[in-house]
Amino acid sequence: MTQPALAALAVGIVAAAAWAEGERRVVLAAAGLALAGWWWGSARLTALDDSALAERIGTAGRAIVQVTAPPRPTRFRLRVPAQVVAFGGEPVRESVLLELPLGRAPPQGARLSLVATLRAPKGPEDGFDERRWLRYHGVHVVLQADRWRLVGRRGGLGGFADRLHAFVRRPLARAVHGEPGAVLVGVVLGEDQGLSESSRDRFRASGLYHLLAVSGQNVIAIAGGALFVAWLLGAGRTGGHVLALGTIGCYVLAVGPQPSVVRAGVVGALASFAWLAARQRDRWHFLLIAALVLLAWNPYSLLDPGFQLSFAAVGSILLLVPPLLSRLEGYPLPQSLAEAIAVSTACAVATAPIVWLHFHAIPILAVPANAVAAPAVGPLLGLGLAAAVIDPVAPHVASHLAQVAGLLAQYLLFCARCAAAVPFAQIDSGRVVAGLVLAAAGAAYACRGWMRR
């Protein structure tokens, strides 16, 4: 069925639902909404799969591109997410992956002029399919260039997001350098480009890699800071929630369209809207709306590991943390440590199958590593965000705050290094399968004994 036919059928069924009564109205409305979602998803997939440059693979020409995210250095090249605005003198608007020589990297938001060769993304190699991964992000062509020239900056909403990103990142990068600075920027802005490959491997093996992705904790810190500022200014809770909505939107723009930050931003914004409208707040409802927003923009997000890990972790927190906390009540543990253990356990259990499916290994020390690292994450995030806000007014104070946050980043590096150094800190696919079989057998035996009792 064609997309116009789907749209017309969806409108017709929804119109029929308006005239129906009782259960028939509910059934017709649900069918109409399902068809509307089918139509919209088909339209978005068609738009994401469309490529004007794919037909010109193997050719070369002068291109004007805009850098849309921070470059990532690899062993041989710089990989830069970009958007082509002109190729061969013709206007084009298409997302691409730009590969440049190692060395000076163009900043996010830069508009570059270069002579590039178009090539197709690589197929499956060493367990990674570059072509499929890029396709899920609407990228079908790789541009290779040896030299580039800065000719301007992008404007519009993207340019505003670039300035916000630089506003947050600048005081952190100025005050803290090296690996601690990369961890600090990673926790605050969700970037891992500045980390060495060995450090990234340590964070993966220790189960702490999620700290380098923006989560709900970041949005809670942003919203809490906005409410505190509004209280200091005497603006009241209404003014505070309005300010929180604005700061959450700016933070999401500064970080970029990562599934975790979009999910957290949507949930945080809906919570503020619910308070302003005096409506009851339902966390599951908010989580579902966040998923719909992401999938409406890019249905391929459903296949993205970041999307799956983000929503699995939040769902496990809502489902498993309360009973786990009740189990830990009888133990002599501080409340903060008990919460860290419960959250880490819930997330580790829920995300383990996804991690194994995509990365063929599971960190077995994730719970103790997160319990040890958790006390430093909140203060690090608060100090980093405070440094960004204070920097335009008091740069020296901002530098001191960032340096203290850098010490906490060094602590996180130490935690990751110690956990990853433990033998069998990460088990590979074969051991995972054997472990799952043994766990299933043990669970079946325990269940049998429980039923007998």
In the predicted model, is pLDDT for residue 289 greater than 90?
A: no
Q: Are residues 206 and 289 in the same domain?
A: yes
Amino acid type, 215: S
- Choose one of 126, 154, 182: the last residue of a domain: 154
Instruction: Using pLDDT thresholds of 50, 70 and 90, give the confidence band for residue 435.
Output: low
Contact present, 203 and 211 (Cβ < 8 Å): yes
pTM above 0.85, yes or no: no
Q: State mean pLDDT over 145-152.
A: 92
Q: State mean pLDDT over 149-163.
A: 91
Contact present, 188 and 385 (Cβ < 8 Å): yes
Residue 245 zone, left/alpha/beta (φ > 0; ψ -120 to 50; rest): alpha
Residue-wise pLDDT for 3-21, tens only, equals 667 667 767 776 776 777 7
Q: Are residues 108 and 180 in the same domain?
A: no
Residue-wise pLDDT for 265-282, tens only, equals 888 888 877 777 766 667
- Choose one of 127, 154, 181: the last residue of a domain: 154
Angle at 388 between CA 386 and CA 394, to 5 degrees: 85
In the predicted model, is pLDDT for residue 316 greater than 50?
A: yes
Q: Are residues 274 and 343 in the same domain?
A: yes
Q: Are residues 338 and 189 in the same domain?
A: yes
Q: Count the Cβ atoms, other than its own, within 10 Å of residue 266.
A: 21
> Treating both helix axes as pointing N-terminal to C-terminal, what angle do 366-390 and 216-233 enclose, rounded to 10 degrees?
40
- Choose one of 154, 182, 199: the last residue of a domain: 154
Contact present, 421 and 396 (Cβ < 8 Å): no
161 located within any domain: no
Q: Are residues 170 and 126 in the same domain?
A: no
| The two structure tokens encoding residue 395 | 């740069």
Residue-wise pLDDT for 325-374, tens only, equals 888 887 787 888 888 888 888 888 888 888 888 877 888 888 888 888 98
Q: Could you give the CA distance from residue 309 to residue 354 in angstroms, rounded to a whole number?
A: 7
160 located within any domain: no
Q: How many domains does the chain have?
A: 3
- How far from the centroid of its chain's Cα atoms is residue 367's Cα? 21
Q: Are residues 123 and 209 in the same domain?
A: no
State the CATH number of the domain containing residue 82. Answer: 2.40.50
Q: Are residues 218 and 101 in the same domain?
A: no
Higher-confidence residue: 394 or 284? 394
Q: Are residues 61 and 45 in the same domain?
A: no
128 located within any domain: yes
Residue-wise pLDDT for 28-78, tens only, equals 778 877 888 888 888 888 888 989 898 899 999 999 999 998 888 888 889
Q: Are residues 98 and 191 in the same domain?
A: no
Instruction: Using pLDDT thresholds of 50, 70 and 90, give the confidence band for residue 418.
Output: very high
Collapsing DSSP states into helix, strand and coil, what is residue 51?
coil
- Amino acid 281: pLDDT: 67
Q: State mean pLDDT over 85-99.
A: 91
Q: Are residues 425 and 287 in the same domain?
A: yes
Contact present, 120 and 142 (Cβ < 8 Å): yes
116 located within any domain: yes
Whose tokens are 């543990």? That residue is 333
452 located within any domain: no
- How far from the centroid of its chain's Cα atoms is residue 45's Cα? 21
- How far from the centroid of its chain's Cα atoms is residue 243's Cα? 23
Q: Are residues 231 and 82 in the same domain?
A: no
- Amino acid 24: pLDDT: 76
DSSP state at residue 122 = P
Range of the domain at 93: 54-154
Amino acid type, 223: A
